[in-house]
Every structure is written in structure tokens, then in C-alpha cells.
Structure 1
Amino acid sequence: MKASDKEQFIRDSKENQELLKNKNSCDKYDYLTAVACGAIGGIIDILFVGSASDSILQKWADQQVDECVKKFAKFMGWKPNLSQQDNITSAIGFLERKYKINYDQRHTADVNGQFNMYTKNHHIMSLSHAPDFIGLFFSALNQFTATSSFIAEGKLITIKTDGSFELQGGDFITKLFCGVANWFGHIMSDVAGSSGSRGNGKRGTGIVIPFFELFQICNFGKFRVAKDKQTFSTIAIRAFESGYDLRYGLTMSVPVIITDLLIRFIWSLKHFFYHKCPFKELYLPVKTIVYE
């Protein structure tokens, strides 16, 4: 690091510290703004988000995900006729056929009766269906080793598949790339529900909110649900079965995003008009230090 760069870095640090002390300290109006924006976010959550069964915004979120799936399917080669242009079931079916994988077991019989599972919860029990790096890791592992990995009753369970599935590619890197592509493509085929569950105007069961699948490890506690007492992991699965999937996660993020944007917008207005801060200085630029 050059001596001139060090001096500039120290000078910028001191300027930023003074700015934080003198201009960025919160006053009563900042606190009132935060409370008001939080209240607005809460009202939006109550009136428009609600629960997964009666959410007003849920229909909008479902439509956005459906459109995303159809656009992805067309990008990957889906060519529907005129009557199927807006048919989400057709788009999902195309992706399911294109991105077949070996870990898509759906019923108790498919896992040799080792644990109970059915179509509404296999997306949360199968780790490879998770839209996060845990799902990516287990998807690659399952495709390379002809296995399927699940969490059931707080335990990691791995079963062997029939072995008919084989990754394309002549070397490890190529097969790994194909495995990642299969994982993402299959995630896109499931994010809006399966083709079988979307018939007759049904919503279907999507995929989990990232890392939500880890709640299945929490196989403890006795929480009362109606007349029954159930573990935390069972409650997590039941919540997913009731519609708390990634699409509902997008719905829940709406009031959070609105609250954050409102706070930032009002903060900018206050600093621009009240503190007479130039617009270009509202957000400090990040200076790049070149190391040798």
C-alpha cells in the first residue's frame, strides 16, 4: 500500500467519522419516522399479507412466480401452441421432463417405508429441493452418488436410488456443471408447484423458504396445536403444508421492503432539505484502495 494511499485512507476515515458524529446522529424526528414507517409496514402486513390461506398479496406473488416460470421455460425451449401460452401447468410439465433428477421421491413407498412422506411435504423433507447452498450441495451429492437425502424426525436419512439416472458429461467439471443446471432447473419446475398439483386452478405446493428446511432438525418440544402436542419440526412441516412456501415468503417481504424504502426516502429528504446536504453526498461513495 502506497504512503499516499495510507494518508488518503486516514483522511477519508476522519472525514467519515466527523460526518457520522455531526450529521448522522438520530434526533426525535428520526425516531418518530422509524416508528411511523414501522407502523405503516405493520398495517400493510395485517391488511394485505395476513396468513397463507387468506392473503390478498399472495395471489399477486403467485402470479409473479408463475410468469417467471413461464419465461424460464420459454428460454429453455418451451414452445406451446396458442391455447397453451398462459398455461402454467404446461410450462411446469416441460421443465419437469427436461430436468429429471433421481431424488424426486414423493411417497412413503418410494423411500421403502423408512419414514412417512407424501406429495405435500416431500419438497421440505428432501434436502436437495431447498433453494439455498444446502440444497445445491445435497443435490450434487445425490446426483453423483445415486442417493436421496431427507430429514425425518430430526434425523438425516439417505437412501439409494435405482441407479438408472446418470449425469451427462465426460469429466468431473462437466458433470458438476450439469448437476448444478439440473438442480436449478428442477427448482424452477417446483417453485410454482408441480404440474399434477396445479390442475383445476389449484395453487400447488411450492418449495421452501431458504434454510426453512433446517427447522426439521429441531425435533424437540411439545407445542399444543389444537388438541395435539407436537414437536417444533412437525409444526414446521405442517406450516409448509399449509402454504408457507417460498411464494408466501415473497409476500411476507413486501411490508419489510416498503418500510425500509420509506425510512431511506424520508432520511434522504430530511438531509437534503433540513441539513442542506448536497444530493451527491447523501450516500458516501466507497473508495477503492489499490494494494501492490
Structure 2
Amino acid sequence: MGTLEIACDESGSEGEKLIGGNTEVFAHAGVLLSEEAAAECIRETRDRIRSPATEYKANHLLRSKHRAVLVWLLAPTGPIYGRARVYLADKAFFAVQKIFEIAYDGPRGQASAVELYRIGPAAFGRERWTAFLEAFNEVMRGRVDPEAFDLVVASLAGMGGRAGELVGSLGGLPARRGAIPLLDPLIPAIVQAVAHWGEGTRPVSIMHDQHNGLTEERIAHIRRVAPLAGLRLADSFYEPRVQVADFLAGVARKIAEEELNGRGDTELVQLLRPYVDLASAWGDERSWASLGLGRVAV
């Protein structure tokens, strides 16, 4: 079997800034289309929207007056159905996962991360919970000393209860960060894209929209942890396959973020469901029951 080349793009990427940024959800889309099929998808989208813009982006599809075009794109009879997948990350949950991953030196704390994410805000109050996540985020970004996180942990652990017990189980954060950013969801998203499309049997190459986070060092890291046959960067303006991935990533992020915040559009959520990767980093039960049909996210 030959190498599959998957076109990818993201939406909501803010590097390692997970808390207090411009978006609450990160989305990474991959599409398996021929160049001709992708170009036809773009042509049809342009014919339906009729905007003079030189390059169409997801925000064109998200405008209420173009809702019919978005429904067409995602529908089972549409041009990308069965040929596309999107990895979602609720950034707050992704941060909690990383806290336990670092504290437990591996994935053993996954169940604890899910539990704390679900009970923490109510147990500590939204303000203290946000301060906890921000302290972790800033330490790992090298903005403040690790002791700042330790102080927040101590104060929350002292409040008692199951949430306090879970926080109290966390060890100190490392004083130094490695060269590979632990908190950027882009890297695990690409690793998962390789795993999904290759299914453990086929080599996968990625054609990704230009992104300053994809340095040679980080691409080399991805190659070490995933069977990546190759990764090249392309400009979505000239590459229709990447532009289609941009469409899916952008609309998926918006649909998922609205659902996470209790403002979901039932029709659009249902249309997005078949595209959502089960390996998405999502801890909220209610919204995941809609986005993932009750399937368990990790």
C-alpha cells in the first residue's frame, strides 16, 4: 500500500497558552481528498457563497446567511463526508490532563484528571479554579516560578473534600521546560492524525498549512513518536486540500465551542458528529454526549 497524504489545518491555536486566550477550543482537521476533488469543493463553495474574497475561510461558512452552504459541506451527501476527521481539545481539560501527566510522570492519572476537571470548578469556585489553571499554564510557559503553582495547590488542597484530595496528590512542577512544548495541542493532534489515517498499517504523510510552531525540531520529535512518513508545509491560498481542511477546522472549533458553553446549534452539532475523532481531549460529559454520541473521549 502506498503512502497516504493527508491535508491538515488547525483553528484556535495559541501555542501553549491554554487559559485566558482568545479561544476555549482547539481543532485540528485532516482531509483525504484528491487535488481535483478539493478544487471542485472550493469551486462549489464559491458558487454558493458568491463573495469577492480572494481566499475563502471558515468564517465565510459560519455567517448565518451562508448556513445552507455549511450544511451542504458537512452533510452525508456533501463533498468531505467519510473523507475527513477533526481532533478537538477543550483547552481547560487539556491543561488538567497535562497537570496529572507531569505529576504522575505518565498517563496513569487520566481518570483523576477527568474527575478533577468535572468537580473542581464547583468545589473550589470558578475564580480559584481558573487561578489554579492559570498558575500551571504560566509556570509551564516559563512566565513564573514553579513555587507559584505550589502555593495555589496548597491552598486548594487545604479546602478538603475529594477535589482537595485530588489536587493534593499533585507533585511539584519541573523547574525547567524541555525544547518540545508540552502544552501545545498541535503536536498530539498531528500524532493522532497519523494514527487515525494510518490505522497502524499504512504510512502517512502530512501536508500542513504553514505554522510557525512546526519547526524542524518539533517535526523530528513527531517522527520519533509516530510513524510519520513526511511532513511538508503548504499555503492554503495555493493548495485547495489545505483550504478544505481550514474550512473543517474552523467550523468544527466554533460548533464545538458553542456546544461546550451550552449554546450549541443542534443541527450543526449533529452534522459535525461523524467527523469528531474519538481521541479528542474532551472532559465535559454533557457536550461530549452531543459531539461524540456518548463515546468516551480521552
For Structure 1 versus Structure 2, the TM-score category normalised by the shorter chain is under 0.3
Higher relative contact order, chain-length normalized (CA < 8 Å, sep 6+): 2
Q: What is the TM-score normalised by the length of structure 2? A: 0.22
Task: Give the alignment's TM-score, normalised by structure 1.
Answer: 0.23
Q: Which has the larger radius of gyration?
A: 1
Higher helix share: 1
